[in-house]
Amino acid sequence: MASAILRESTIMKIHYGTALAAVALVAVHVLMRLTSGGFAESLEYETVLANYRFLPYALMLEIILVLLSIHGFNGLRVILLELRQGPRYEKAVSYGCVAAMFALIAYGSRTIIMTNMGMV
């Protein structure tokens, strides 16, 4: 179980930390949509591609991906742990959320890395 590896206080400190960091970075991400010549233009293929190929921005996207995945799936774990109890269920929820978190990070990273490296 995740909580057997990390103390619950440590997990929750990570939960709060990822939230605060994500707020700042997502704000930058959203502002980029509004300042890149308008909302519709910012979503055009060429603009988005240019964004991905700009390394600092790609790095920021990767960090947002990791932060929100950790925060989101830990939040889901907390809600699910409170809904039902039992050692097998709790173990399944904790491992399931960690697995889903890694899967989402891997899937999102694939998009960021391949686009940034010009493999599109």
Partner 1 sequence: MASVDQEEGNAGVEAGTDSQGRYDGAGSDSGARAAADGNRAGIGGMANPGKYGIERVAYWLMRLTGLGLLAYFIGHIYETSSILQGKMGWDEFLAITQTTEGHILLAIVIGMCVFHTVNGIRVMLGHGGVGVGRAARPDYPYVPASQNYRHKLGIYTAIVLAAIAMMYGLAVMFGV
Partner 2 sequence: MALQAASGPAPAQRPGTQRSITLRIARSNPAHDRSTVGFDDFEVPYEKWTTVLDAILEVKKRLDHSVAVRYSCRQATCGSCGMMINGRPGLACFTKIDELNSSVVTVEPLQNFPVIRDLAVGFDSLFENHREVKPYLDRDDTELDNIADGELKEYPQSPEELEQYIQFANCIKCGLCNAACPTMATDSSFLGPQALAQAYRYVGDSRDRGKDSRLKVIDDSHGIWRCHFAGSCSQVCPKGVDPAMGIQMLRGYMLGFGGGSSGNNQK
Binding site for partner 2 (CB under 8 A): 1, 3, 7-9, 11-13, 78, 81-85, 90
Long-range contacts of 76-79 (CB under 8 A, 24+ apart): 77/2
For partner 1, the binding residue among 10, 31, 35, 39 (CB under 8 A) is 39
Interface characters, 58-97, with partner 1 (x: CB under 8 A):
-------x--xx--xx-xx--x---x--------------
Angle between helices 45-53 and 55-83 (to 10 degrees): 90
For the bound state, the minimum distance from the C-beta of residue 55 to partner 1, rounded and expressed in Å, comes to 17
Total number of residues that touch partner 1 (CB under 8 A): 31
119: burial class by Cβ within 10 Å (0-12, 13-18, 19+)?
A: exposed
Say whether residue 11 binds partner 1 (CB under 8 A).
no
- Interface with partner 1 by CB under 8 A: which range of 2-10, 12-20, 88-96? 12-20
Judged by CB under 8 A, the residue of 23, 59, 63, 92 near partner 1 is 23
Q: What is the DSSP string of 73-101?
A: HHHHHHHHHHH---HHHHHHHHHHHHHHH
